[in-house]
Structure 1
Amino acid sequence: MASAETLARMKSVVGPKGFVDTEADMAPYLVERRDLYKGRAAAILKPASTEEVAALMRIAHETGTPVVPQGGNTGLVGGQIPFETGKEVVLSLQRMNRILALDTGNNTLTVEAGVTLAAAQAAARDADRLFPLSLASEGSCQIGGNLATNAGGTAVLHYGNARDLVLGLEVVLADGRIWSGLKGLRKDNTGYDLKQVFLGSEGTLGIITRAVLKLFPLPRAMATAFVAVPNVEAAVKLLRLADATTGGLVTSFELMPRIGIDFVVKHLPGATDPLKAPSPWYVLIELSAGNDSEGLAATLEALLGGAMEKSLVSDAAIAASEAQRAAFWRMRESMSDVQKMEGGSIKHDVSVPVSSVAEFIARATKAVEAALPGIRPVPFGHVGDGNIHFNLSQPVGADRAGYLARWDEMSAIVHGIVRDLGGSISAEHGIGRMKRDEIAETKSPVEMELMRALKHALDPKGILNPGKVLTAR
């Protein structure tokens, strides 16, 4: 555990505003949002600058103090939560929340790591630009955490993951050195692309302190529809038809099951069923373009008309206003949270090839239902990029604690099918603590050896987020 002398040195770096060590004040930083992980810490450190982060890491490296970097604490795999020993310090980036530069000529936005995703989006929008990363937690998640976990979201189909939206980084290394790669270049072939080492590394290789983000033209027109489809196969065929019909204008394509809609309508105040008759499955599809909203709406109508003729779509509602569009998206974005009202929910964030989505959902559903009769699968998510949130609500009337105790059993079933289909056990949430012990089953020995070599080279003392992503050696 960090000694009193070490903590005093760290406090002298960040000052009273940046140092928290009382149990009550530390509590919000020590619990994961789903209450799956509850840790302890010697202190919470809140630096206000890159230089303060560097000074803290120099002390940590010298004294062997383990450090857990934390953004907005919205992660879902325990990567941002310290262990229960109380030996670690949490380094929160929340005070480093400045918008540093916006270059409309280069379409870039430079921010500190503690800027919330919503604030980055707003800064871009104020300059008539778009930063397309979009998540349900965007009001509280932070850019540093988004990049450290390679966040996905609802626009990956068109714009890519978080790592595709970054041109440059500034990173503090485990020994306190600062690597400044804050370039706004779209082409730079001078050696290794070092930023990619830290993107998606979950704070185990370095602490991201600043980033240069890509901006895009702000869409002038959007057309959004809530669509009923008979099965998942039809949803995938609709996606391919949409690609061909619109010429690349599809920005979001989200799959939802009837049970998920039932949960939202039941538990979300003000939510209503978007369509008159129930359907086994639904798709939320959104097109965007630079201008001509009427033409875009006509394109969407033509797409849906053609899909109905092919029996891919049984009904659809096209948003006639921004309020209706927001209501459609509220249905989708609330689907995970409302499952709490139905008891225990075992979550899976997986990906398979888009062509295998229907097979995965069918096989995984059959397998978990055979293992636990009455279990209620709620598969939904970003079918356009093969990322399915295969959530499992407990049987009606089951004991919540007893059900959640079967998490590992259910994950073994689901992840086994994912691996069989050449997929990934973590599509956008990361590895953290939750999936750390499974990663070796997914990656080859050579991949694991390379990952460990990177960890040892950049963090030889193992003080950066220890026990996350990789087991200690």
Structure 2
Amino acid sequence: MTPDQIRLVDALAGHLPARVIVTDPAEIAPWETDWRGRWHGHAALLLAPTSTAEVAAIVAAAAAHRVPLVPQGGNTSMVGGATPPADGGAAILSLRRMNAIRSLDAEAGLAVVEAGVILAELHAVAATVGMRFPLSLGAKGSATIGGLVSTNAGGTQVLRFGTMRGLVAGLEAVLPDGQIHDGLAALKKDNRGYDLTQLLIGGEGTLGVVTAATVRLVPAVAARTVAWVGLADPAAALTLLRRFQRASEGVESFELLPAESLDAVLRHIPGTRAPLSGAHPWHALIEVTAAHDAREAPAAIVEHMLGAALADGLVADATIAASEAQADAFWRIRESISEAERATGPAAQHDISVPIEAMPRFMIEAAAACEARFPGTRASGFGHLGDGNVHFHVRAPAGADRTRWLAQEAPVVTQFVDDLVVAAGGSISAEHGIGQMKLGELERLSSPARMSALRAIKAALDPHNIMNPGKLVALAPRGPAE
């Protein structure tokens, strides 16, 4: 440990239970690397509080001794946002033991949950009272509420319910000086100036530590229909989406993926099978749901819409899941794409967004531009058509050395892709955040006004730069402790 960390431990030792302070390298090691294996750091100290009061004590002491803290939940960041720096100067602040669901009010449609609650656990508990939390993603078995708030997570239901920013009704957090922001009350109106809750959502732990959130629940699904569709191109998919949206408010998900992504899943994920018998250049996964008081069953809507689309040639083939097991099998394909593509070899991966109407053209033209600019690569995108979010991957040429290509070629590819995104009026980060992976690109491509504002907010709330330094926005090194 560094001298500052030793002083921090000494300051906390008399006030916190011994189990909160972890110095065993074997216990810390699993949390020093991100889940994709791209980012590796080092921490000699991990702090694992069980209450907001303990978090406040830790942050106040860390501020006094100038020890940087890296907040961490399920460690599922896709951009190295929860990985400690390699120099060992920061301590990991683990929120995993703060995993209580403090309250759940089905009538009000609200739940107060601590930062360490795993998303799948919230799903399960809400279901016991006939409610659900309408955000889901592939990492639901390990992602935590605090991390989802801090990255403004999206997932597969943004089309209907929006991102985490729209699902959070209130927030509790510890600010960089150790003070507690108590904003858990779900107020419809609150005009007391700057909205601290909204600043903290998507702040990636750089402005404070989220300790609990009041989240919105919706009635459990009474019926759902899931369909798999084969199409000629993304433009046809967007036309189909617009038809579905005009027909029903229950369109919850509309996922678009190319044949390459489906093929990767079928090759590398055991137990998966193609939903359609023929080959198609593009595929769409559609889910329509209804509550108990719905005027029309989802099955009738989906059957009618797909029947019409097949009749006029908009889609080439389609199938509707005949059971919940088959619906889950369709979704398993979509949720396994990232895992399958990792198995295909090294790739420059981009979580980007463009205007929805521009997404079909972008997916085709950007892939062609990348393959022309970088011979031997293969480029394709998949993602959430209804919100313009493209997961755009450029795979290395066959036989490329993984380490060398990722270190030398991938950054050049990323700059090229990001330039295309900006030219299309999009964002280089749609739902994964900036972390450390996109720090330089955010600086390169953002307006001076945006960067000045980000730095000013960071410097005002965290003047000593102890909250997740080196993520989202870079500041000058912190000063010495007084």
Q: TM-score normalized by structure 2?
A: 0.95
Pick from 419, 423, 441: which aligns with 2:422?
419
| Structure 1 residue 196 corresponds to structure 2 residue 198 | yes
1:108-127 pair list within 5 angstroms: 108-127=110-129
Q: Which of 452, 463, 467 lines up with 1:464 in the alignment?
A: 467
> Partner of 1:408 in structure 2?
411
Tell me if the contact between 2:117 and 2:144 (Cα under 8 Å) persists in the aligned partners. Answer: yes
| CA distance in 2 between partners of 1:5 and 1:402 (Å) | 41
TM superposition shift of 1:12: 4.0
1:450 aligns with 2:453: yes
Aligned residue in 2 for 1:288: 289
Which amino acid counterpart does residue 249 of structure 1 have in structure 2?
A: G
Does structure 2 retain, via aligned residues, the 8 Å contact 1:255–1:281? yes
The aligned counterpart of 2:358 is 356
Deviation at 1:15, TM superposition (A): 2.5
Q: Relative to structure 1, is the Cα distance of residues 3 and 300 closer, same or farther in structure 2, using a 3 angstrom cutoff? A: closer
CA-atom RMSD in angstroms: 1.4
Please tell me whether the aligned partners of residues 13 and 56 of structure 1 are also in contact (alpha carbons under 8 angstroms).
no
Report the equivalent of 2:443. 440
- Superposed, 1:50-61 pairs within 5 Å as 50-61=52-63
Equivalent residue, structure 1, for 2:188: 186
Q: What CA deviation, in whole Å up to 9, does each residue of 1:29-54 have, x standing for no partner? A: 10011111100113010001000000
Match of 2:226 among 224, 227, 251: 224
Counterparts of 1:343 and 1:11, CA distance in 2: 46
Question: Which stretch of structure 1 is more off in the superposition, 399-408 or 416-425?
Answer: 399-408
Aligned to 2:270: 269
Aligned pairs for 1:130-169 (under 5 A) are 130-169=132-171
Report how far residue 308 of structure 1 moved. 1.9
Mapping 1:379-394, distance limit 5 Å: 379-394=381-396
User: Partner letter of residue 31 of structure 1?
Assistant: T
Shift of 1:364: 1.4
CA gap of 1:109–1:301, structure 2 versus 1, over 3 A, is same
CA deviation profile, 1:154-207 (whole Å, cap 9, x unmatched): 000000000100111111011101110110223333433220010000000010
Instruction: Report the 3-state secondary structure (helix = DSSP H, G, I; strand = E; otherwise coil) of the residue aligned with 1:401.
Output: helix
CA contact (8 A) 1:424 1:442 kept: no
Aligned to 2:59, the other structure's residue is in SS state helix
Q: Report the equivalent of 1:251.
A: 252
Distance 2:374 2:278 in 1: 30
SS in 2 for 1:58: helix
1:368 to 370, 387, 394: 370
Structure 1 pair 13–306 and aligned structure 2 pair: CA distance change class (3 A): farther
For the residue of structure 1 that corresponds to 2:299, the secondary structure is: helix
Q: Deviations over 1:121-147 (max 9, x none)?
A: 112111111100101001101000000
Residue 300 of structure 1: aligned partner: 302
Q: CA deviation at 1:107?
A: 0.8
* TM-fit CA distance, 1:3: 3.8
SS at match of 2:337: coil
**Alpha carbons of 1:222 and 1:185: their partners in 2 closer, same or farther (altered >3 Å)?**
same
Provide the rounded CA distance (Å) in 2 between the counterparts of 1:208 and 1:334. Answer: 29
Aligned length: 472
- Aligned 8 A contact 2:223 2:297 in 1: no
Counterpart residue type for residue 296 of structure 1 = P
The structural deviation recorded for 1:359 is 1.8
* Larger CA deviation: 163-172 vs 22-31: 22-31
Aligned partner of 1:100 among 99, 102, 115: 102
Q: 1:229 to 1:14 in 2, by over 3 A?
A: farther
In structure 2, what is the Cα distance between the partners aligned to 1:449 and 1:121? 39
**1:252 CA displacement:** 0.1
One-letter identity of the residue aligned with 1:297:
A
Instruction: Report SS of the residue matched to 1:288.
Output: strand
Contact in 1 for aligned 2:455/2:475 (Cα 8 Å) = no
SS at match of 1:348: strand
Give the SS at the match of 2:252: strand
Amino acid at match of 1:257: P
Provide Cα deviations, 1:251-281, integer angstroms capped at 9, x if missing partner.
0000011011111111111111110101000
The SS at the match of 2:149 is helix
1:48–1:96 contact (8 Å) kept in structure 2 = yes
Corresponding residue to 2:325 among 323, 340, 344: 323
Equivalent-residue separation in structure 2 for 1:226 and 1:11 (angstroms): 57
Q: Please, which of 65, 72, 85 is the counterpart of residue 83 of structure 1? A: 85
2:434 is equivalent to residue 431 of structure 1? yes
**Distance in 1 of aligned mates of 2:445 and 2:430:** 13
Equivalent residue number for residue 177 of structure 1: 179
Percent identity, aligned pairs only?
A: 45
1:235 aligned residue: 237
SS at match of 1:210: strand
How far apart are residue 106 of structure 1 and its match?
1.2
User: How far 1:293 sits from its partner (Å)?
Assistant: 10
- State the AA in 2 paired with 1:450: A
Q: Whole-Å Cα distance in 2 between the matches of residues 198 and 252 of structure 1?
A: 27
Q: CA deviation at 1:11?
A: 4.1
Q: Displacement of 1:294 after TM fit?
A: 7.8
For residues 217 and 187 of structure 1, the distance between their equivalents in structure 2, rounded to whole angstroms, comes to: 24
Task: Say which SS state the counterpart of residue 134 (structure 1) adopts.
Answer: coil
Cα separation, 2, equivalents of 1:224 and 1:442? 39
Unpaired runs of 5+ residues, structure 2, are: 477-482
Q: CA deviation at 1:213?
A: 0.4
Question: 1:29/1:14 Cα in 2 relative to 1: closer, same or farther (>3 Å)?
Answer: farther
Which region of structure 1 is more displaced relative to structure 2, 358-367 or 76-85?
Answer: 358-367
Amino acid at match of 2:275: P
Asked if 1 retains the 8 angstrom alpha-carbon contact of 2:347 and 2:410, the reply is no
Does the CA-based 8 Å contact 1:172-1:209 persist in structure 2?
A: yes
Letter in 1 for 2:252: T
**CA pair 59-16 structure 1, distance change in 2 beyond 3 A:** same
**Partners of 2:460 and 2:217 in 1: CA distance:** 33
